[in-house]
Chains A and B, each alone.
Chain A
Amino acid sequence: MSRKWVEEESRQWVERGIITEEQRRQIAELYPYKRSISEKLPVFGALLVGAGILTFVASNWSAIPQLFRLLLIVLTMSGFYVYGYRNEERGAKALGISLLALGVITFGAGIFLTGQMFHLIAYDARAFIIWSLPAILLAWMYRGRLLYFLALVILNAGQLYSAISFQQFSWLLLVLLLIGAGGYALQNRQRVIFTALTPSILLHGLLYLIVENQAIGWLILMSAILYAVLDWLSDRQARIAGQLGTLISAFFLDVFFIFFLGEMNNEQAPLAATFFILFAGAFVLSYLGKRKHSEALTLVEWTIFLPFFYWKAGGDVMYLLILFVFSGYLLWIGHREEWSSKVNAGTLLFLFSTFVGYIQVAWGFLPKSLFFLGGGLLLFVLNAFLQRQRHKRLRDEGKGGSQV
Protein backbone atom coordinates (compact mmCIF):
# COMPACT_ATOMS: atom_id res chain seq x y z
CA MET A 1 0.00 0.00 0.00
CA SER A 2 1.31 3.41 -0.82
CA ARG A 3 1.60 6.31 1.56
CA LYS A 4 -0.58 8.36 -0.70
CA TRP A 5 -3.39 5.82 -0.65
CA VAL A 6 -3.27 5.61 3.15
CA GLU A 7 -3.33 9.38 3.47
CA GLU A 8 -6.31 9.69 1.12
CA GLU A 9 -8.33 6.89 2.62
CA SER A 10 -7.65 7.70 6.24
CA ARG A 11 -9.22 11.11 5.83
CA GLN A 12 -12.59 9.35 5.66
CA TRP A 13 -11.75 7.31 8.72
CA VAL A 14 -11.24 10.49 10.70
CA GLU A 15 -14.46 11.98 9.32
CA ARG A 16 -16.38 8.89 10.37
CA GLY A 17 -14.84 9.03 13.80
CA ILE A 18 -13.04 5.69 13.52
CA ILE A 19 -9.66 7.18 14.33
CA THR A 20 -8.42 10.56 15.50
CA GLU A 21 -6.33 12.94 13.43
CA GLU A 22 -3.30 12.08 15.56
CA GLN A 23 -3.82 8.37 14.96
CA ARG A 24 -4.22 9.05 11.27
CA ARG A 25 -0.84 10.75 11.22
CA GLN A 26 0.75 7.87 13.12
CA ILE A 27 -0.71 5.29 10.76
CA ALA A 28 0.48 7.22 7.72
CA GLU A 29 3.96 7.36 9.23
CA LEU A 30 4.08 3.57 9.04
CA TYR A 31 4.06 3.76 5.27
CA PRO A 32 7.19 5.33 3.84
CA TYR A 33 6.88 7.32 0.65
CA LYS A 34 7.53 5.15 -2.36
CA ARG A 35 10.70 6.14 -4.06
CA SER A 36 9.78 8.02 -7.15
CA ILE A 37 10.87 6.92 -10.59
CA SER A 38 13.11 9.97 -10.89
CA GLU A 39 15.39 8.47 -8.25
CA LYS A 40 15.89 5.52 -10.56
CA LEU A 41 17.04 7.75 -13.40
CA PRO A 42 20.73 7.63 -12.43
CA VAL A 43 20.55 3.85 -12.67
CA PHE A 44 19.17 3.96 -16.19
CA GLY A 45 21.70 6.64 -17.05
CA ALA A 46 24.49 4.41 -15.76
CA LEU A 47 23.24 1.51 -17.87
CA LEU A 48 23.14 3.62 -21.04
CA VAL A 49 26.56 5.17 -20.53
CA GLY A 50 27.91 1.72 -19.72
CA ALA A 51 26.53 0.34 -22.97
CA GLY A 52 28.07 3.28 -24.78
CA ILE A 53 31.51 2.60 -23.33
CA LEU A 54 31.36 -1.05 -24.25
CA THR A 55 30.36 -0.41 -27.86
CA PHE A 56 33.04 2.24 -28.03
CA VAL A 57 35.69 -0.29 -27.12
CA ALA A 58 34.22 -2.95 -29.35
CA SER A 59 34.47 -0.66 -32.34
CA ASN A 60 38.25 -0.71 -31.87
CA TRP A 61 38.49 3.07 -32.11
CA SER A 62 41.30 2.85 -34.54
CA ALA A 63 42.07 6.53 -34.85
CA ILE A 64 43.53 6.95 -31.37
CA PRO A 65 47.07 5.72 -30.67
CA GLN A 66 47.16 2.66 -28.44
CA LEU A 67 48.87 4.23 -25.47
CA PHE A 68 46.26 7.01 -25.40
CA ARG A 69 43.45 4.52 -25.49
CA LEU A 70 44.76 2.83 -22.40
CA LEU A 71 45.33 6.17 -20.70
CA LEU A 72 41.81 7.27 -21.60
CA ILE A 73 40.34 4.11 -20.13
CA VAL A 74 42.32 4.46 -16.90
CA LEU A 75 41.33 8.13 -16.56
CA THR A 76 37.66 7.42 -17.27
CA MET A 77 37.65 4.62 -14.75
CA SER A 78 39.32 6.70 -12.04
CA GLY A 79 36.95 9.58 -12.80
CA PHE A 80 33.87 7.39 -12.35
CA TYR A 81 35.27 6.01 -9.12
CA VAL A 82 36.20 9.37 -7.63
CA TYR A 83 32.86 11.02 -8.51
CA GLY A 84 30.98 7.95 -7.38
CA TYR A 85 32.81 8.01 -4.08
CA ARG A 86 32.16 11.74 -3.57
CA ASN A 87 28.45 11.44 -4.35
CA GLU A 88 28.14 8.46 -2.07
CA GLU A 89 29.84 10.42 0.71
CA ARG A 90 27.52 13.38 0.43
CA GLY A 91 24.47 11.14 0.57
CA ALA A 92 23.48 10.86 -3.08
CA LYS A 93 23.53 7.10 -2.77
CA ALA A 94 21.75 6.13 -5.99
CA LEU A 95 23.96 8.34 -8.12
CA GLY A 96 27.10 7.36 -6.22
CA ILE A 97 26.48 3.63 -6.62
CA SER A 98 25.65 4.06 -10.31
CA LEU A 99 28.95 5.86 -10.89
CA LEU A 100 30.86 3.18 -9.01
CA ALA A 101 29.16 0.56 -11.18
CA LEU A 102 30.31 2.51 -14.23
CA GLY A 103 33.84 2.43 -12.83
CA VAL A 104 33.62 -1.36 -12.62
CA ILE A 105 32.25 -1.60 -16.18
CA THR A 106 35.09 0.61 -17.44
CA PHE A 107 37.60 -1.60 -15.64
CA GLY A 108 36.20 -4.60 -17.54
CA ALA A 109 36.35 -2.66 -20.79
CA GLY A 110 39.99 -1.85 -19.97
CA ILE A 111 40.86 -5.52 -19.46
CA PHE A 112 39.37 -6.53 -22.79
CA LEU A 113 40.81 -3.52 -24.59
CA THR A 114 44.33 -4.35 -23.42
CA GLY A 115 43.78 -7.89 -24.58
CA GLN A 116 42.76 -6.57 -27.98
CA MET A 117 45.68 -4.14 -28.17
CA PHE A 118 48.19 -6.92 -27.72
CA HIS A 119 46.26 -9.62 -29.61
CA LEU A 120 45.89 -11.82 -26.55
CA ILE A 121 43.54 -14.64 -25.76
CA ALA A 122 43.34 -16.11 -22.30
CA TYR A 123 42.19 -19.69 -22.57
CA ASP A 124 40.19 -19.50 -19.36
CA ALA A 125 37.91 -17.28 -17.31
CA ARG A 126 40.79 -15.25 -15.83
CA ALA A 127 39.63 -11.90 -17.20
CA PHE A 128 36.16 -12.36 -15.70
CA ILE A 129 37.59 -13.42 -12.35
CA ILE A 130 39.68 -10.25 -12.11
CA TRP A 131 36.79 -8.15 -13.37
CA SER A 132 34.38 -9.49 -10.76
CA LEU A 133 36.65 -8.65 -7.81
CA PRO A 134 36.07 -4.86 -7.67
CA ALA A 135 32.33 -5.41 -8.25
CA ILE A 136 32.11 -7.78 -5.27
CA LEU A 137 34.30 -5.68 -2.99
CA LEU A 138 32.46 -2.45 -3.79
CA ALA A 139 29.08 -4.13 -3.31
CA TRP A 140 30.25 -5.17 0.14
CA MET A 141 31.67 -1.76 0.99
CA TYR A 142 28.74 0.33 -0.19
CA ARG A 143 25.80 -2.05 0.15
CA GLY A 144 24.87 -1.31 -3.43
CA ARG A 145 22.30 -3.62 -4.90
CA LEU A 146 23.27 -2.49 -8.41
CA LEU A 147 26.89 -3.49 -7.73
CA TYR A 148 25.69 -6.84 -6.44
CA PHE A 149 23.73 -7.49 -9.63
CA LEU A 150 26.69 -6.37 -11.70
CA ALA A 151 28.87 -8.88 -9.85
CA LEU A 152 26.28 -11.61 -10.50
CA VAL A 153 26.20 -10.78 -14.22
CA ILE A 154 30.01 -10.83 -14.48
CA LEU A 155 30.29 -14.13 -12.59
CA ASN A 156 27.54 -15.79 -14.62
CA ALA A 157 28.87 -14.44 -17.93
CA GLY A 158 32.37 -15.63 -17.02
CA GLN A 159 31.19 -19.15 -16.27
CA LEU A 160 29.12 -19.24 -19.48
CA TYR A 161 32.09 -17.98 -21.51
CA SER A 162 34.42 -20.50 -19.94
CA ALA A 163 32.00 -23.35 -20.58
CA ILE A 164 31.10 -22.41 -24.14
CA SER A 165 34.52 -21.33 -25.41
CA PHE A 166 36.85 -23.64 -23.55
CA GLN A 167 34.62 -26.45 -22.19
CA GLN A 168 36.03 -25.67 -18.77
CA PHE A 169 34.39 -25.09 -15.43
CA SER A 170 35.95 -22.36 -13.32
CA TRP A 171 35.84 -23.34 -9.66
CA LEU A 172 37.17 -19.95 -8.70
CA LEU A 173 34.14 -18.23 -10.22
CA LEU A 174 31.86 -20.52 -8.24
CA VAL A 175 33.76 -19.78 -5.02
CA LEU A 176 33.47 -16.05 -5.73
CA LEU A 177 29.75 -16.49 -6.35
CA LEU A 178 29.18 -18.42 -3.14
CA ILE A 179 31.37 -16.35 -0.84
CA GLY A 180 31.25 -12.95 -2.51
CA ALA A 181 27.66 -12.78 -3.72
CA GLY A 182 26.23 -15.36 -1.30
CA GLY A 183 27.88 -13.67 1.66
CA TYR A 184 26.52 -10.32 0.53
CA ALA A 185 23.02 -11.80 0.29
CA LEU A 186 23.27 -13.12 3.85
CA GLN A 187 24.28 -9.67 5.06
CA ASN A 188 21.59 -7.79 3.15
CA ARG A 189 18.52 -9.94 3.26
CA GLN A 190 16.42 -8.35 0.59
CA ARG A 191 14.04 -10.55 -1.33
CA VAL A 192 15.22 -9.79 -4.84
CA ILE A 193 18.87 -10.38 -3.87
CA PHE A 194 18.03 -13.91 -2.80
CA THR A 195 15.73 -14.65 -5.69
CA ALA A 196 18.54 -13.74 -8.09
CA LEU A 197 21.24 -15.62 -6.18
CA THR A 198 19.86 -19.16 -6.18
CA PRO A 199 19.24 -19.45 -9.94
CA SER A 200 22.80 -18.12 -10.48
CA ILE A 201 24.23 -20.88 -8.29
CA LEU A 202 22.14 -23.42 -10.20
CA LEU A 203 23.33 -21.97 -13.53
CA HIS A 204 26.90 -22.69 -12.44
CA GLY A 205 25.77 -26.17 -11.43
CA LEU A 206 24.17 -26.75 -14.83
CA LEU A 207 27.30 -25.60 -16.67
CA TYR A 208 29.43 -27.90 -14.51
CA LEU A 209 27.22 -30.86 -15.45
CA ILE A 210 27.40 -29.98 -19.14
CA VAL A 211 31.18 -29.47 -19.16
CA GLU A 212 31.83 -32.65 -17.19
CA ASN A 213 29.31 -34.61 -19.27
CA GLN A 214 27.25 -35.54 -16.25
CA ALA A 215 23.54 -36.32 -16.08
CA ILE A 216 21.28 -33.26 -15.99
CA GLY A 217 19.23 -35.03 -13.31
CA TRP A 218 21.88 -34.05 -10.75
CA LEU A 219 20.65 -30.49 -11.09
CA ILE A 220 17.40 -31.54 -9.40
CA LEU A 221 19.46 -32.75 -6.46
CA MET A 222 21.43 -29.51 -6.40
CA SER A 223 18.21 -27.47 -6.32
CA ALA A 224 16.82 -29.68 -3.56
CA ILE A 225 19.97 -29.34 -1.44
CA LEU A 226 20.06 -25.58 -1.94
CA TYR A 227 16.39 -25.44 -0.98
CA ALA A 228 16.98 -27.54 2.14
CA VAL A 229 19.92 -25.40 3.26
CA LEU A 230 17.80 -22.28 2.87
CA ASP A 231 15.25 -23.82 5.26
CA TRP A 232 17.74 -23.10 8.02
CA LEU A 233 17.87 -19.40 7.29
CA SER A 234 16.15 -17.56 10.13
CA ASP A 235 15.03 -14.56 8.07
CA ARG A 236 11.64 -15.56 6.69
CA GLN A 237 11.53 -13.13 3.75
CA ALA A 238 15.00 -14.07 2.54
CA ARG A 239 14.30 -17.77 3.01
CA ILE A 240 11.14 -17.69 0.94
CA ALA A 241 12.68 -15.49 -1.74
CA GLY A 242 15.74 -17.75 -2.10
CA GLN A 243 13.61 -20.88 -2.14
CA LEU A 244 11.36 -19.34 -4.78
CA GLY A 245 14.47 -19.06 -6.99
CA THR A 246 15.26 -22.76 -6.56
CA LEU A 247 11.62 -23.77 -7.07
CA ILE A 248 11.24 -21.81 -10.29
CA SER A 249 14.56 -23.22 -11.58
CA ALA A 250 13.33 -26.74 -10.76
CA PHE A 251 10.00 -25.95 -12.41
CA PHE A 252 11.71 -25.20 -15.71
CA LEU A 253 13.96 -28.23 -15.29
CA ASP A 254 10.79 -30.32 -14.99
CA VAL A 255 9.54 -28.73 -18.20
CA PHE A 256 12.82 -29.77 -19.83
CA PHE A 257 12.27 -33.36 -18.70
CA ILE A 258 8.71 -33.36 -20.03
CA PHE A 259 10.03 -32.71 -23.51
CA PHE A 260 13.33 -34.59 -23.53
CA LEU A 261 12.92 -37.51 -21.13
CA GLY A 262 11.84 -39.78 -23.98
CA GLU A 263 15.06 -39.04 -25.88
CA MET A 264 17.44 -39.77 -23.02
CA ASN A 265 19.04 -43.15 -22.47
CA ASN A 266 19.81 -44.83 -19.18
CA GLU A 267 23.37 -43.57 -18.93
CA GLN A 268 22.00 -40.07 -18.77
CA ALA A 269 20.40 -40.58 -15.37
CA PRO A 270 22.35 -39.93 -12.16
CA LEU A 271 23.65 -42.86 -10.14
CA ALA A 272 20.52 -43.88 -8.25
CA ALA A 273 22.09 -44.91 -4.90
CA THR A 274 24.03 -41.67 -4.44
CA PHE A 275 21.12 -39.63 -5.67
CA PHE A 276 18.56 -41.08 -3.31
CA ILE A 277 20.79 -41.02 -0.21
CA LEU A 278 21.59 -37.34 -0.73
CA PHE A 279 18.01 -36.57 -1.72
CA ALA A 280 16.65 -38.20 1.44
CA GLY A 281 19.28 -36.37 3.50
CA ALA A 282 18.26 -33.04 2.00
CA PHE A 283 14.60 -33.83 2.64
CA VAL A 284 15.22 -34.59 6.31
CA LEU A 285 17.31 -31.44 6.65
CA SER A 286 14.53 -29.45 5.04
CA TYR A 287 11.87 -31.03 7.26
CA LEU A 288 13.82 -30.27 10.44
CA GLY A 289 14.35 -26.68 9.32
CA LYS A 290 10.67 -26.28 8.50
CA ARG A 291 9.64 -27.76 11.84
CA LYS A 292 11.83 -25.23 13.59
CA HIS A 293 9.98 -22.45 11.81
CA SER A 294 6.67 -24.35 12.12
CA GLU A 295 6.16 -24.29 8.38
CA ALA A 296 5.85 -28.02 7.79
CA LEU A 297 3.02 -27.36 5.34
CA THR A 298 5.47 -26.01 2.78
CA LEU A 299 6.89 -29.53 2.43
CA VAL A 300 4.39 -29.73 -0.44
CA GLU A 301 6.96 -27.72 -2.39
CA TRP A 302 9.17 -30.81 -2.50
CA THR A 303 6.90 -32.31 -5.18
CA ILE A 304 8.76 -30.17 -7.71
CA PHE A 305 12.04 -31.98 -6.89
CA LEU A 306 10.69 -35.52 -7.20
CA PRO A 307 13.05 -37.48 -9.48
CA PHE A 308 10.57 -38.89 -11.98
CA PHE A 309 13.26 -38.80 -14.65
CA TYR A 310 14.17 -42.32 -13.46
CA TRP A 311 10.82 -43.51 -14.75
CA LYS A 312 11.18 -43.42 -18.51
CA ALA A 313 7.69 -44.56 -19.41
CA GLY A 314 5.57 -42.26 -17.28
CA GLY A 315 8.01 -39.60 -16.11
CA ASP A 316 6.78 -36.91 -18.48
CA VAL A 317 3.15 -37.33 -17.44
CA MET A 318 4.14 -37.22 -13.78
CA TYR A 319 6.14 -34.07 -14.35
CA LEU A 320 3.23 -32.45 -16.14
CA LEU A 321 1.03 -33.32 -13.19
CA ILE A 322 3.61 -31.83 -10.85
CA LEU A 323 3.65 -28.58 -12.81
CA PHE A 324 -0.08 -28.26 -12.20
CA VAL A 325 0.16 -29.26 -8.56
CA PHE A 326 2.97 -26.83 -7.93
CA SER A 327 1.44 -23.82 -9.68
CA GLY A 328 -1.89 -24.58 -8.03
CA TYR A 329 -0.15 -24.74 -4.67
CA LEU A 330 1.57 -21.41 -5.32
CA LEU A 331 -1.81 -19.83 -6.16
CA TRP A 332 -3.38 -21.26 -3.04
CA ILE A 333 -0.63 -20.27 -0.64
CA GLY A 334 -0.41 -16.84 -2.26
CA HIS A 335 -4.08 -16.27 -1.52
CA ARG A 336 -3.68 -17.64 1.98
CA GLU A 337 -0.77 -15.36 2.76
CA GLU A 338 -2.21 -12.54 0.65
CA TRP A 339 1.13 -12.31 -1.06
CA SER A 340 0.21 -10.95 -4.47
CA SER A 341 3.49 -11.73 -6.24
CA LYS A 342 3.03 -15.38 -5.31
CA VAL A 343 -0.51 -15.33 -6.68
CA ASN A 344 0.74 -13.77 -9.90
CA ALA A 345 3.62 -16.25 -10.20
CA GLY A 346 1.18 -19.09 -9.52
CA THR A 347 -1.26 -17.86 -12.16
CA LEU A 348 1.51 -17.44 -14.74
CA LEU A 349 3.01 -20.85 -14.02
CA PHE A 350 -0.43 -22.45 -14.14
CA LEU A 351 -1.09 -20.99 -17.58
CA PHE A 352 2.41 -22.03 -18.64
CA SER A 353 1.75 -25.58 -17.41
CA THR A 354 -1.46 -25.72 -19.41
CA PHE A 355 0.49 -24.56 -22.44
CA VAL A 356 3.16 -27.23 -21.91
CA GLY A 357 0.40 -29.80 -21.54
CA TYR A 358 -1.17 -28.60 -24.76
CA ILE A 359 2.10 -29.00 -26.66
CA GLN A 360 2.46 -32.51 -25.31
CA VAL A 361 -1.10 -33.28 -26.39
CA ALA A 362 -0.23 -32.39 -29.96
CA TRP A 363 2.07 -35.39 -29.99
CA GLY A 364 0.07 -38.08 -28.29
CA PHE A 365 -3.56 -37.11 -28.23
CA LEU A 366 -5.44 -39.76 -26.36
CA PRO A 367 -3.62 -40.50 -23.13
CA LYS A 368 -3.14 -36.85 -22.36
CA SER A 369 -6.63 -35.64 -23.21
CA LEU A 370 -7.77 -36.97 -19.90
CA PHE A 371 -4.94 -35.10 -18.33
CA PHE A 372 -5.86 -31.88 -20.09
CA LEU A 373 -9.40 -32.24 -18.88
CA GLY A 374 -8.03 -32.71 -15.38
CA GLY A 375 -6.10 -29.47 -15.71
CA GLY A 376 -9.22 -27.59 -16.76
CA LEU A 377 -11.32 -29.11 -13.98
CA LEU A 378 -8.57 -28.31 -11.53
CA LEU A 379 -8.71 -24.71 -12.66
CA PHE A 380 -12.49 -24.62 -12.05
CA VAL A 381 -12.11 -26.23 -8.66
CA LEU A 382 -9.33 -23.86 -7.76
CA ASN A 383 -11.36 -20.90 -8.91
CA ALA A 384 -14.39 -22.00 -6.90
CA PHE A 385 -12.19 -22.55 -3.89
CA LEU A 386 -10.54 -19.14 -4.18
CA GLN A 387 -13.91 -17.45 -4.61
CA ARG A 388 -15.21 -19.11 -1.50
CA GLN A 389 -12.14 -18.07 0.42
CA ARG A 390 -12.61 -14.49 -0.71
CA HIS A 391 -16.29 -14.50 0.26
CA LYS A 392 -15.43 -15.95 3.61
CA ARG A 393 -12.83 -13.29 4.17
CA LEU A 394 -15.20 -10.55 3.16
CA ARG A 395 -17.86 -11.94 5.51
CA ASP A 396 -15.36 -12.09 8.36
CA GLU A 397 -14.31 -8.55 7.71
CA GLY A 398 -17.95 -7.52 7.64
CA LYS A 399 -18.37 -8.82 11.16
CA GLY A 400 -15.67 -6.44 12.25
CA GLY A 401 -13.43 -8.71 14.29
CA SER A 402 -11.38 -9.96 11.42
CA GLN A 403 -7.98 -11.53 11.48
CA VAL A 404 -5.72 -11.31 8.53
Chain B
Amino acid sequence: MKRRASALFAVLVLLQVLFLGGMGASYYAVDAVGKEIRLKTAPVDPRDLFYGDYVQLSYEISSLPWSVWKGGERPEEGQTVYAVLRRNEAYDSAVAVYPVKPQAKDGEAILQARVRGWGESEHLNLLYGFERYYVEENTGKEWEERSGQAIVTVKVAPWGQSKITGLVFEQ
Protein backbone atom coordinates (compact mmCIF):
# COMPACT_ATOMS: atom_id res chain seq x y z
CA MET B 1 0.00 0.00 0.00
CA LYS B 2 2.74 2.38 1.04
CA ARG B 3 4.81 1.37 -1.97
CA ARG B 4 1.94 2.04 -4.28
CA ALA B 5 1.40 5.48 -2.75
CA SER B 6 5.02 6.45 -3.21
CA ALA B 7 5.02 5.15 -6.78
CA LEU B 8 1.91 7.19 -7.47
CA PHE B 9 3.57 10.26 -6.01
CA ALA B 10 6.65 9.73 -8.17
CA VAL B 11 4.48 9.41 -11.28
CA LEU B 12 2.58 12.57 -10.37
CA VAL B 13 5.78 14.60 -9.98
CA LEU B 14 7.26 13.08 -13.13
CA LEU B 15 4.17 14.02 -15.13
CA GLN B 16 4.50 17.64 -14.03
CA VAL B 17 8.20 17.71 -14.93
CA LEU B 18 7.40 16.15 -18.30
CA PHE B 19 4.62 18.63 -18.89
CA LEU B 20 6.84 21.66 -18.29
CA GLY B 21 9.80 20.10 -20.08
CA GLY B 22 7.64 18.99 -22.98
CA MET B 23 6.10 22.42 -23.32
CA GLY B 24 9.55 23.99 -23.42
CA ALA B 25 10.98 21.36 -25.78
CA SER B 26 8.10 21.62 -28.22
CA TYR B 27 8.59 25.35 -28.58
CA TYR B 28 12.33 24.93 -29.06
CA ALA B 29 11.45 22.42 -31.77
CA VAL B 30 9.24 25.06 -33.40
CA ASP B 31 12.33 27.28 -33.47
CA ALA B 32 14.39 24.60 -35.12
CA VAL B 33 12.07 23.23 -37.79
CA GLY B 34 9.33 25.85 -38.06
CA LYS B 35 8.70 27.84 -41.19
CA GLU B 36 9.22 31.54 -40.72
CA ILE B 37 6.50 34.00 -41.61
CA ARG B 38 6.53 37.77 -41.31
CA LEU B 39 3.38 39.53 -40.21
CA LYS B 40 2.48 43.16 -40.29
CA THR B 41 0.75 44.49 -37.21
CA ALA B 42 -2.14 46.88 -37.42
CA PRO B 43 -1.17 50.46 -36.57
CA VAL B 44 -0.58 50.46 -32.83
CA ASP B 45 -1.61 53.26 -30.59
CA PRO B 46 1.27 53.59 -28.16
CA ARG B 47 -1.04 54.58 -25.36
CA ASP B 48 -3.00 51.37 -25.64
CA LEU B 49 0.11 49.35 -26.11
CA PHE B 50 1.07 48.54 -22.59
CA TYR B 51 -0.65 47.10 -19.71
CA GLY B 52 1.60 44.93 -17.71
CA ASP B 53 4.81 43.68 -19.18
CA TYR B 54 3.63 42.80 -22.61
CA VAL B 55 2.66 44.43 -25.87
CA GLN B 56 -0.84 43.67 -27.03
CA LEU B 57 -0.55 43.01 -30.75
CA SER B 58 -3.16 43.10 -33.45
CA TYR B 59 -2.16 42.00 -36.95
CA GLU B 60 -3.44 42.72 -40.39
CA ILE B 61 -4.43 39.05 -40.50
CA SER B 62 -6.41 39.49 -37.25
CA SER B 63 -9.19 41.29 -39.04
CA LEU B 64 -9.93 40.07 -42.58
CA PRO B 65 -12.53 40.91 -45.20
CA TRP B 66 -15.26 38.30 -45.53
CA SER B 67 -14.17 37.67 -49.14
CA VAL B 68 -11.36 35.38 -47.92
CA TRP B 69 -13.79 33.05 -46.10
CA LYS B 70 -14.18 29.76 -48.01
CA GLY B 71 -16.65 27.97 -45.77
CA GLY B 72 -20.11 28.94 -46.97
CA GLU B 73 -22.04 29.80 -43.82
CA ARG B 74 -20.37 32.21 -41.47
CA PRO B 75 -18.43 30.60 -38.61
CA GLU B 76 -19.54 30.75 -35.01
CA GLU B 77 -17.73 32.49 -32.22
CA GLY B 78 -14.90 30.34 -30.90
CA GLN B 79 -14.84 28.02 -33.94
CA THR B 80 -11.45 26.76 -35.08
CA VAL B 81 -10.52 27.84 -38.61
CA TYR B 82 -7.38 27.70 -40.78
CA ALA B 83 -5.82 30.71 -42.44
CA VAL B 84 -3.64 30.28 -45.54
CA LEU B 85 -0.82 32.82 -45.74
CA ARG B 86 1.26 33.79 -48.76
CA ARG B 87 4.39 35.98 -48.93
CA ASN B 88 3.62 39.27 -50.58
CA GLU B 89 6.62 41.59 -50.89
CA ALA B 90 8.16 41.87 -47.43
CA TYR B 91 5.53 40.15 -45.34
CA ASP B 92 2.83 37.49 -45.36
CA SER B 93 -0.85 38.10 -45.69
CA ALA B 94 -3.92 35.90 -45.58
CA VAL B 95 -5.32 34.76 -48.91
CA ALA B 96 -7.99 32.36 -47.68
CA VAL B 97 -9.60 31.06 -44.50
CA TYR B 98 -11.06 27.53 -44.37
CA PRO B 99 -13.22 25.73 -41.81
CA VAL B 100 -11.13 22.52 -42.26
CA LYS B 101 -7.38 22.25 -42.61
CA PRO B 102 -6.41 22.62 -46.27
CA GLN B 103 -3.33 21.15 -48.01
CA ALA B 104 -0.48 23.68 -48.01
CA LYS B 105 0.95 24.56 -51.42
CA ASP B 106 4.48 25.74 -52.06
CA GLY B 107 5.27 29.08 -50.48
CA GLU B 108 2.20 28.98 -48.28
CA ALA B 109 1.86 28.63 -44.53
CA ILE B 110 -1.20 27.52 -42.63
CA LEU B 111 -2.15 28.97 -39.26
CA GLN B 112 -4.77 27.64 -36.92
CA ALA B 113 -7.01 30.39 -35.55
CA ARG B 114 -10.11 30.95 -33.52
CA VAL B 115 -13.04 33.12 -34.54
CA ARG B 116 -13.66 36.09 -32.33
CA GLY B 117 -16.62 38.44 -32.25
CA TRP B 118 -20.34 38.24 -31.94
CA GLY B 119 -23.16 38.34 -34.44
CA GLU B 120 -22.85 40.10 -37.76
CA SER B 121 -19.33 41.43 -37.68
CA GLU B 122 -18.07 43.59 -40.52
CA HIS B 123 -14.82 41.66 -40.59
CA LEU B 124 -13.72 38.12 -39.96
CA ASN B 125 -11.90 38.57 -36.66
CA LEU B 126 -9.39 35.90 -35.73
CA LEU B 127 -7.19 35.06 -32.76
CA TYR B 128 -3.98 33.13 -33.34
CA GLY B 129 -2.56 32.81 -29.82
CA PHE B 130 0.46 35.03 -30.45
CA GLU B 131 -1.19 38.38 -29.82
CA ARG B 132 1.00 39.04 -26.85
CA TYR B 133 4.67 39.95 -26.80
CA TYR B 134 6.31 39.93 -23.40
CA VAL B 135 8.97 42.56 -22.82
CA GLU B 136 11.38 42.99 -19.97
CA GLU B 137 10.00 44.69 -16.93
CA ASN B 138 10.37 48.45 -16.72
CA THR B 139 11.21 48.80 -20.40
CA GLY B 140 7.72 50.05 -21.15
CA LYS B 141 8.86 53.67 -21.63
CA GLU B 142 11.41 52.79 -24.30
CA TRP B 143 8.85 50.75 -26.19
CA GLU B 144 6.29 53.46 -25.89
CA GLU B 145 8.42 55.90 -27.84
CA ARG B 146 8.29 53.66 -30.85
CA SER B 147 4.95 53.50 -32.50
CA GLY B 148 3.30 52.84 -35.80
CA GLN B 149 3.39 49.48 -37.52
CA ALA B 150 5.67 46.65 -36.61
CA ILE B 151 6.79 43.51 -38.40
CA VAL B 152 6.58 40.40 -36.25
CA THR B 153 8.35 37.21 -37.23
CA VAL B 154 6.56 34.02 -36.25
CA LYS B 155 7.71 30.44 -36.67
CA VAL B 156 5.07 27.88 -37.57
CA ALA B 157 5.74 24.17 -37.06
CA PRO B 158 4.29 21.56 -39.44
CA TRP B 159 2.15 20.28 -36.54
CA GLY B 160 0.51 23.67 -36.04
CA GLN B 161 2.34 25.16 -33.06
CA SER B 162 3.58 28.70 -33.54
CA LYS B 163 5.64 31.26 -31.64
CA ILE B 164 6.90 34.79 -32.01
CA THR B 165 10.63 35.00 -32.66
CA GLY B 166 11.05 38.72 -33.14
CA LEU B 167 9.43 42.13 -33.30
CA VAL B 168 10.81 45.06 -35.32
CA PHE B 169 9.23 48.47 -35.67
CA GLU B 170 9.19 49.96 -39.15
CA GLN B 171 11.21 53.11 -39.38
Contacts and interface: CB of A to CB of B under 8 A. Distances in A.
Interface of A: 58-60, 62, 67, 70, 73-74, 77-78, 81-82, 85, 103, 107, 110-111, 114, 116-123, 130, 134, 137-138, 141, 168
B114 interface: yes
B33 to A, nearest CB: 15
Given A78-B13, A81-B13, A130 B19 contact: yes
B23 interface: yes
Interface in B18-53: 19-21, 23-24, 27, 53
Interface of B: 5-6, 8-9, 12-13, 16-17, 19-21, 23-24, 27, 53-54, 78, 114, 127, 129-134, 136-137, 163-164
Nearest to A66: B24
A138 B12 contact: yes
Contacts of B21: 70, 74
20 contacts: A60-B53, A60-B136, A70-B21, A74-B21, A77-B20, A78-B13, A85-B6, A85-B9, A103-B13, A117-B24, A117-B27, A119-B163, A119-B164, A120-B129, A123-B114, A134-B12, A137-B12, A138-B12, A141-B9, A141-B12
Contact of A74 (B5, B17, B133, B163): B17
Nearest to B163: A118
Sorted from nearest, which 5 A-B pairs have the closest CB atoms?
A119-B164, A118-B27, A62-B136, A110-B20, A118-B163
Most chain B CB inside 10 Å of its own CB: which residue of A85, A103, A120: A120
A100 to B, nearest CB: 9
Given A62-B137, A73-B20, A74-B17, 18 more contacts: A60-B134, A60-B137, A74-B20, A81-B9, A82-B13, A107-B16, A110-B20, A117-B134, A118-B163, A119-B130, A119-B133, A121-B129, A122-B129, A123-B127, A134-B12, A134-B16, A137-B12, A141-B8
